[in-house]
Structure 1
């Protein structure tokens, strides 16, 4: 029985367009160029941050992120960054008696911005706050603690089969692969995505799957 659902953030709850656009502007490269490079490194199974390293070899990403913040061009989120099915789905799951948490590979600043959106969730944390990121097993240990139920009663939802589905299942959680964003679509038919307990195209589908009959 699923008693808690934990959600990834990027391309699960929020669009990544704004963030990548800000990086392109900061590094002085055409937005389409950086977008294409992100797609290329993702297709190669590499970290999407490698796209930044292709644009500027040797770049210190954390230093540049700090410089962006200082220049007033740092991370930013508002309601327009959320996918339209997010609030209704999270609210519906909570109404069904399911604990809803958010746990993704994001910075401390992103955690602050997400909390400011006042999403209908019971708890929220990011890898930047925990000091450990997916696909490390310790990330999912923290996720289970955040969920407050047994691992087998937690469903982790994300778009990245290698970062979300495979390690979540290895840690004893259930997993749902969301066909959303570049990664979600590119790897939708991969062996890793097929290993998910559920494969969905929207969060509304997830609500239908989990809603008590």
Structure 2
């Protein structure tokens, strides 16, 4: 039985298309260019920020992020960015007595915007707030600290094998890989992913019966 479900954010709860579209606008290139380059670096197993450096070689992503924020063209995240299954899935988990935690690799600003959405969750946290990001084992140690449940009764849900499934499994958590977004689709049938994931799902609505049938 699973007592706590912990969910990644990008391409698990939220769509990333607006995030990349705003970067494309800032760098003055077509949105398709950035999207295609994100796909390319994902397929190569590289950091997705490398897509921005391909558009603008030598780009200091952190400095450029700060410049966007200062210009009033920074991060935005609202209800329209959520996938349709998020609210019903999380609400059903809580109805069944499962603790729900949202924890992903996002900025502190994104964390505040997520918290403002008043999701059916017991805790919303980001790497920017915790000071440590996936796949660092310390991130998953913090997840377990917040879970309040044993590792084998804590389920981590995400789309990205290298950031979610593999390190969560290494930390002793149960894992569910979500076939969603570029990472989720690209590696969904990879043998190493199949071996590492306790469950492979196509919707967050599948989680209720996994956690507490």
Normalising by structure 1, report the TM-score: 0.97
The runs of at least 4 consecutive aligned structure 1 residues that moved more than 4 Å come to none
Post-superposition shift, 1:81?
0.3
3-state DSSP class of the match of 1:101?
strand
Q: Give the match for residue 164 of structure 1.
A: 164
Q: How much has 1:190 moved relative to structure 2?
A: 1.1
Q: Distance in 2 between matches of 1:59 and 1:191?
A: 35
- SS in structure 2 of the partner of residue 6 of structure 1: strand
Aligned length: 212
Please state how far the C-alpha of 1:25 moved relative to its aligned partner: 0.5
Query: Are the equivalent residues in 2 in contact too, given 1:157–1:178 (CA < 8 A)?
Result: yes
Residue 11 (structure 1) aligns with: 11
Aligned to 2:42: 42
Alignment partner, residue 204 of structure 2: 203
User: How far, CA to CA, are the matches of 1:208 and 1:73 in structure 2?
Assistant: 41
2:87/2:119 contact within 8 Å kept: yes
Pair 1:80-2:119 in alignment: no
Once residues 156 and 192 of structure 1 are traced to their aligned partners in structure 2, the CA distance between those partners, rounded to angstroms, is 17
Judge conservation of contact 2:156–2:173 (CA < 8 Å) in 1: yes
2:193 maps to which residue?
193
Contact 2:8–2:103, Cα closer than 8 Å, also in 1: yes
Q: Provide the residue aligned with 1:55 in structure 2.
A: 55
> TM-score scaled by structure 2?
0.97
Partner of 1:107: 107
Q: CA deviation at 1:192?
A: 3.2
Instruction: Give unmatched runs, 5+ long, in structure 1.
Output: none
Question: RMSD between aligned alpha carbons?
Answer: 0.9
- Contact 1:105 / 1:134 at 8 angstroms: preserved in 2? yes
Alignment gaps of 5+ in structure 2: none
The superposition leaves residues 111-170 of structure 1 with CA deviations (integer Å, 9 ceiling, x where unpaired) of: 000001000100111111111111110010011112121111110000001111110010
Contact kept in structure 1, 2:5 and 2:211, CA below 8 Å: no
Distance 2:192 2:69 in 1: 36
Q: CA deviation at 1:69?
A: 1.0
